[in-house]
Amino acid sequence: MVVTASMAVMGWLSVVMVVGSPVLHKVGGSKGWINHDVNYTEWSAQEHVYVGDWLMFMFDKRYFNVLEVNKTSYESCIDRDFITNVTRGGRDVVQMTEGRTYYYLSGGGHCFHGMKVAVPVQQHPSLAPSPSMFFSSSLLPSVMCSCIWIIVANVVYLVNLVIRC
């Protein structure tokens, strides 16, 4: 049982080492989700959000909220029939679970003053290889080498674990 759990942990660590850790993106940067002066479109364009990353909305929930909406509602600032009300306590986080564009706005008329953001979420580059990668003979040795080192590290770890038991 211990060896099986250790193998699962090592497998997960191998993926984390290759892919990287999730990133927490504070929507609006240092100004957060409370300022009509923030250009959330520009903020979103400067961010690189990947599947597994988190968005953090910081705001005063007495005055603002965060609603996930579809593209049509986003474009027209319609806060009815939203997908999800993200608002919980004013320091709310949402994990990006799939590669698509997420649309958020603040209801109560704030959307009309610019409090809305479209966040394109991409697959992590190391998880979404281009088709040419499979046919590139120059890339194959480096990929094989990386995989071999990960396998060797896992085997060494497991051998040490078995010896200790």
Q: What is the pTM of this model?
A: 0.64
For the chain, the first-to-last Cα distance in angstroms comes to 12
What are the CA-CA distances from residue 104 to residues 9, 13, 30, 31, 126 (Å)?
35, 33, 18, 17, 27
- Using a pLDDT cut of 70, give the percent of the chain over it: 64
- CA 29-42-54 angle, 5° bins: 45
Q: What are the sequence ranges of the domains in the chain?
A: 1-20+138-165, 21-122
CATH of domain 21-122: 2.60.40.420
Quick check: 68 and 86 in contact, CB under 8 A?
Answer: yes
Gap between the Cα atoms of 165 and 162, Å rounded: 5
Examine the pLDDT at 19 and tell me if it is beyond 90: no
pLDDT digits (tens, 9 = 90+) for 20-78: 689 999 999 999 998 788 999 999 999 999 999 999 999 999 999 999 999 999 999 99
Q: Write out the two tokens for 65.
A: 């909220």
